[in-house]
Structure 1
């Protein structure tokens, strides 16, 4: 895909974010199956469902722009996933797995929040109001996710680290 104008750039960046959302949603489902704490497991399943909604929203945004997603892999998500696989090879305790998983998802949500903020700004600056509104909805979901994950992480750290 040649990137010769701002719309091409927006479509390119949206394609990378779409790849990130798809990979992260699938990964959240995998992680949820490995977590013993019912509340944390439920949170991961809810996060996965929100990810599916963000994917639908991105697809709607592509449609609104008259474009299609390109094959743009999100290498940042791939790197975080490789880091997590390395961690899993250490056979962590269930509590450590949960703490690591929540922290990893917090990192990914923070990345997503930044990515969506940039996309909203680009779409708004281009006068693509419908797409900007869709992306802003995804940004709000990501920011709420970051907040939830921070709270859960803090609660877990307080509970688990106090006994260390």
Structure 2
């Protein structure tokens, strides 16, 4: 497909975002099998949310009369491989949990950035259904990353407390 107009570029970028979300589900699954305790429940919950994010992207594509291709995102695959490489170093379960939280945060910020751009374009193009779908995802992702960041902070505090030195 030649990309000659902003609409063509929007469709292309929407396809990339769809690839990112599809690949992201693989990250959630991989993390859920590696983390422990309540973090596993958090990851599974976010995995369910990611299915809705993907559905919203598909709805946006349908609203503008196109469909998304199903491919893996090289960028998201890099995040996945970074975590897999870390796991191969045989870290403690606490360190896996901390690195998993960091990995989730990286993935979420990557997709938030992509959503922001496409949301803005959808507004400018007057694609109201896409605006609604992308805005819903953007708000949920921002809330999710804030929740994961709080969880990561609390986890860090718990992990550092035993090694903290008095002043």
**TM category, shorter:** over 0.9
Work out the number of aligned pairs and report it.
163
For residues 31 and 108 of structure 1, what CA distance do their matches in structure 2 show?
A: 12
Q: CA RMSD in A?
A: 1.3
Kindly tell me: are residues 41 and 72 of structure 1, through their superposed partners in 2, closer, same or farther at Cα, counting changes over 3 Å? closer
Matched ranges for 1:97-108 at <5 A = 97-108=96-107
Kindly tell me: are residues 2 and 72 of structure 1, through their superposed partners in 2, closer, same or farther at Cα, counting changes over 3 Å? farther
Matched ranges for 1:52-71 at <5 A = 52-70=51-69
- Say whether the 8 Å CA contact 2:10–2:121 is kept in structure 1: yes
| Counterpart for residue 2 of structure 2 | 2
- Say whether the 8 Å CA contact 1:57–1:135 is kept in structure 2: yes
For residues 23 and 73 of structure 2, what CA distance do their matches in structure 1 show?
A: 9
User: Greater Rg, structure 1 or structure 2?
Assistant: 2
For residues 14 and 143 of structure 2, what CA distance do their matches in structure 1 show?
A: 20
Unpaired runs of 5+ in structure 2? none
Unpaired runs of 5+ in structure 1? none
DSSP 3-state at the match of 2:35: coil
For residues 59 and 146 of structure 1, what CA distance do their matches in structure 2 show?
A: 22
Matched ranges for 1:35-114 at <5 A = 35-37=35-37, 39-70=38-69, 73-114=72-113
DSSP 3-state at the match of 2:107: helix
Which has the higher mean CA deviation after the structures are superposed, 102-111 or 79-88?
79-88
For residues 110 and 80 of structure 2, what CA distance do their matches in structure 1 show?
A: 14
- Say whether the 8 Å CA contact 2:19–2:69 is kept in structure 1: no
DSSP 3-state at the match of 1:162: helix
- Pair 1:22 & 2:7 matched: no
